[in-house]
């Protein structure tokens, strides 16, 4: 079964509004990564979180890793049209370092 769940599937926002996508795992993760895939493109690495409760920021993007290392979120403040794309989380389980489980992604559309 699917190891990493991601919600919502789609999000349509007006430019300037905030956006959040959530990722949940049924088992404890070793680390979690976030990727962005533009339409017609390939996934591009954004960030990796490793520590329990970790919070990292990249300009308008804020990434969080839950205390139990089972959930994560990506929050974008004041979206811009350049933020359009699909955001994926990818978790690596504590018991297997050889593979990453990707969420199904959240497709973000930003209306100008």
Partner 1 sequence: DTGVSQDPRHKITKRGQNVTFRCDPISEHNRLYWYRQTLGQGPEFLTYFQNEAQLEKSRLLSDRFSAERPKGSFSTLEIQRTEQGDSAMYLCASSAPPGTVLRDTQYFGPGTRLTVL
Q: Which is nearer to partner 1, 22 or 102 (CB)?
A: 102
Select 44 or 78, whichever has its Cβ closest to partner 1. Answer: 44
Instruction: Name the residue among 84, 90, 89 with its Cα closest to residue 108.
Output: 84
Q: Least distance from C-beta 19 to partner 1, angstroms?
A: 18
Q: Parallel, antiparallel, or unpaired: how do β-strands 61-65 and 71-76 relate? A: antiparallel
For residues 44 to 73, the per-residue mask of contacts with partner 1, x marking binding by CB under 8 A and - elsewhere, is xx--x-------------------------
Q: Does 96 bind partner 1 (CB under 8 A)?
A: yes
């Amino acid at each position: 079964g699917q190891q990493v769940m991601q919600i919502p599937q789609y999000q349509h926002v007006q430019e300037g509004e905030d956006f959040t996508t959530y990722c949940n795992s049924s088992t404890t993760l070793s680390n979690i990564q976030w990727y962005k895939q533009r339409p017609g493109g390939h996934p591009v690495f954004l960030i990796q979180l490793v520590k329990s409760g970790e919070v990292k920021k990249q300009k308008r993007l804020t990434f969080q890793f839950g205390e139990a290392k089972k959930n994560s979120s990506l929050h974008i403040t004041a979206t811009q049209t350049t933020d359009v794309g699909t955001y994926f989380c990818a978790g690596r389980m504590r018991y297997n370092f050889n593979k990453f489980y990707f969420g199904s992604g959240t497709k973000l559309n930003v209306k100008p």
